[in-house]
A = this chain, B = another copy of it.
Amino acid sequence: MKVAMIEDDIELAEILSEYLKKYGIDVTNFDDPYVAISAMRIEDFDALILDLTLPEMDGLDILKKIREFSDIPVIISSARSDLSDKVIGLELGADDYLPKPYDPKELEARLKAITRRRTKPPKEPDFKIYKNRREIHFKSKPLHLTPAEYEVLGYLIEHQNQPVDREELLYACENLSENASEKTIDVIISRIRQKIGDEPKNPRYIQSVRGIGYKFVP
Contact = CB atoms under 8 A, between A and B. Distances in A.
A90 B104 contact: yes
Contacts of A110: 101
A81 B99 CA distance: 22
A204 interface: no
A97 B104 CA distance: 12
A201 interface: no
B146 A210 contact: yes
A87 interface: yes
Contacts of A175: 211
B100 A162 contact: no
Given A99-B117, A100-B113, A103-B93, A163 B133 contact: yes
A162 B132 contact: yes
Contact of A87 (B18, B109, B212): B18
Contacts of A99: 113, 116-117
Contact of A15 (B86, B103, B140, B146): B86
A114 B210 CA distance: 41
Contacts of A215: 133
Interface in A77-96: 81, 83, 86-87, 90-91, 93, 95-96
Contacts of A14: 83
Nearest to A93: B103
B19 A81 contact: no
B162 A133 contact: yes
A16 to B, nearest CB: 9
Contacts of A210: 146-147
Nearest to A75: B101
A63 to B, nearest CB: 14
Nearest to A161: B133
Nearest to A90: B104
Nearest to A96: B101
Contact of A211 (B11, B81, B132, B147): B147
A90 B146 contact: no
